[in-house]
Every structure is written in structure tokens, then in C-alpha cells.
């Protein structure tokens, strides 16, 4: 293999390769996937001089440790965390030059859940249906990283950004999700719709890349039974039989039979990617645009 490669020394709890996702395949049952915190992934790519479609690493909770085979520029963003190079502190949220063989440690998230690591040239694993993203639901793309994995890197096309640091939004203390009601809000009692849009929920520890699960008041229904399976979109708020809303994230199924009470605005989903278990969640109804 070329020396344009990255060795995974410590994979962490869940580290995956992600880009902007694979579009246009929902009719085949293939989710979009892609980085859950899209703005954070785009920013670290800009910091190292990559195009926005370049693949990055998405870590979960406790980071990862990497060793490049040749000199590279890296940037770590998303959830704030300690960054070290060969045991010495390095910048978070800024480009860092690594010599070949150096040990980059991305520590546990101090706040939030998911940190993003961009490497100059991008992670160049083989694309599947136009994307390098790992999809945990369908199994498409490269598997989650394990210790000893070696990742190829692409060619460097642009110099890294000339900045000391880049501002990034803090993970949310309270998650406020703007939601357009429908298409199946009429399956729920008027009181349930009122509760959904006025009461606070909490992020459940059972949340993952497929969906943000909530804990809180159950939503009562006026219609029994379930729907025939129908198409699902990113941000759909599906209500399973326990009555607790589930917000569909990047690896969501493309069809489902539980009623969708509303759909979250896409711009709010990056914050959902960083909401730790126990974070208060409020759904705020907005008009259709």
C-alpha cells in the first residue's frame, strides 16, 4: 500500500468513515447515511483543504488514536475533546501538521457525542453507490473501524486553511427541534399533539445513528393498528407503539409502518447528533414552507 495511508491504533467505541452520504437510492431501500453533524464534518474538511465531499472519520463518545504513514494535515472538530500528538497537547478546531509515524490521539468528548477527524486528501476507501459512508442499517460502505485497520488517503489538492482556530457551535444544553406536523398527526388525539409540541422529552441512551429516541409522555392515538409501509424521510418523527417519539437520523430505514406525527427541519438535525442522553428535547411546531 502507498505511504498515503492512516493506521488505526485505537478504534474507540464507534468510529466510522462518513461523507455527505449516498443520495437517490431510497427507492432501492438504501438510506442516505453520511455524517450526522454535517456542518462539523464540512468545517474540518475546509480546515485541511479538502473539498466538501471528502470522507472524514466520525468518532462516538471516546475518540480514537491514529498514526499516518506520511506527513499529513489533520483537523478535529464537532464534539470538543482533548487532542494530543505523541503525547503533547495539540489544537482542537484548527489544522495540525503531523509528521509520518506520529501518534494522533483524539480523546473522549468533553461535551456532545461525536467528534470529526479530517485528514488532508480525505479517507479514500472504495465508494459504494457514490459514497464512502458507513451505513449501520444496511451494512453498505466500510465496516466500523477496528484496531489495526489501515485506511488509504487521497491526493492533496489544496493547502490547509490559514487560521488559528475556527468557531464551532457548542453541543446543546437543550435540544429544540422545529417540526412541521404531519402527514399522520391526525392519527393522534388533539391532546397528544398538544403534548408533543409543548412538553419536554429527554434524549434516550438507546439513540444511535438510525434514530434519536426519546423518553417522556406517551402520545395517545385515535386510530388503532398500523399503516401499510410508506416512505420515510430524514427527520421524520415516527411514533412506535410505546408512544415515545423517534427522530429518524442519517441511517434511518427508507420505509416504515408507524405513524409519523411530524418532520424536523433538516437544519436542526446537526444539534441532534451531539445531544447526549438526558438532554431535554422540545418539539416546536412551525408552518409548512
Give domain limits for the chain: 5-152, 175-285
CA–CA gap between residue 120 and residue 185 (Å, rounded) = 46
Q: Are 214 and 245 in contact (CB under 8 A)?
A: yes
Q: For residues 16 and 208, what is the distance between their CA atoms, to the nearest angstrom?
A: 13
DSSP alpha helix (H) spans, 32-149: 38-48
Cα 250 to Cα 90, 147, 185, 212, 269, distances in angstroms: 31, 25, 23, 10, 9
The pTM of this model reads: 0.95
Give the tens place of pLDDT for each residue, 93-142.
999 999 999 999 999 999 999 999 999 999 999 999 999 999 999 999 99
Sheet holding 5-10, edge to edge: 88-90, 81-85, 104-109, 64-68, 5-10, 150-152
pLDDT at site 289:
64
Predicted pLDDT at 165: 64
- At 24-51, the pLDDT tens digits run 998 888 989 999 999 999 999 999 999 9
CATH number of this structure's domain 175-285: 2.40.100.10
Average pLDDT, integer, range 251-275: 96
Alpha-carbon distance 222 to 207, whole Å? Answer: 27
Amino acid at each position: 500500500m502507498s505511504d498515503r495511508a492512516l493506521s488505526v491504533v485505537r478504534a474507540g467505541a464507534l468510529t466510522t468513515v462518513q461523507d455527505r452520504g449516498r443520495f437517490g437510492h431510497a427507492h432501492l431501500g438504501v438510506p442516505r447515511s453520511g455524517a450526522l453533524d454535517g456542518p462539523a464534518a464540512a468545517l474540518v474538511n475546509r480546515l485541511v483543504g479538502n473539498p466538501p465531499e471528502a470522507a472524514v472519520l466520525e468518532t462516538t463518545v471516546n475518540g480514537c488514536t491514529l498514526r499516518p504513514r506520511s506527513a499529513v494535515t489533520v483537523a478535529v472538530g464537532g464534539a470538543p475533546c482533548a487532542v494530543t500528538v505523541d503525547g503533547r497537547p495539540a489544537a482542537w478546531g484548527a489544522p495540525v501538521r503531523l509528521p509520518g509515524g506520529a501518534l494522533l490521539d483524539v480523546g473522549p468528548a468533553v461535551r456532545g457525542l461525536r467528534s470529526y477527524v479530517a485528514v488532508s486528501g480525505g479517507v479514500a476507501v472504495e465508494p459504494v453507490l457514490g459514497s464512502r459512508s458507513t451505513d449501520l442499517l444496511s451494512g453498505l460502505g466500510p465496516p466500523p473501524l477496528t484496531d489495526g485497520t489501515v485506511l488509504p488517503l487521497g491526493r492533496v489538492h489544496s493547502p490547509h486553511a490559514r487560521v488559528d482556530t475556527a468557531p464551532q457551535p457548542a453541543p446543546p444544553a437543550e435540544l429544540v427541534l422545529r417540526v412541521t406536523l404531519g402527514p399522520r398527526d391526525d392519527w393522534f388525539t388533539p391532546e397528544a399533539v398538544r403534548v408533543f409540541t409543548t412538553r419536554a422529552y429527554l434524549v434516550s441512551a438507546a439513540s444511535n445513528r438510525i434514530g434519536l429516541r426519546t423518553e417522556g409522555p406517551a402520545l395517545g392515538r385515535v386510530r388503532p393498528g398500523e399503516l401499510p409501509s410508506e416512505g420515510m424521510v430524514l427527520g421524520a418523527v415516527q411514533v412506535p407503539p410505546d408512544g415515545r417519539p423517534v427522530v429518524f437520523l442519517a441511517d434511518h430505514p427508507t420505509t416504515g409502518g408507524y405513524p409519523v406525527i411530524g418532520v424536523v427541519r433538516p437544519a436542526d438535525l446537526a444539534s441532534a447528533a451531539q445531544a447526549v442522553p438526558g438532554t431535554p428535547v422540545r418539539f416546536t411546531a412551525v408552518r409548512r414552507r
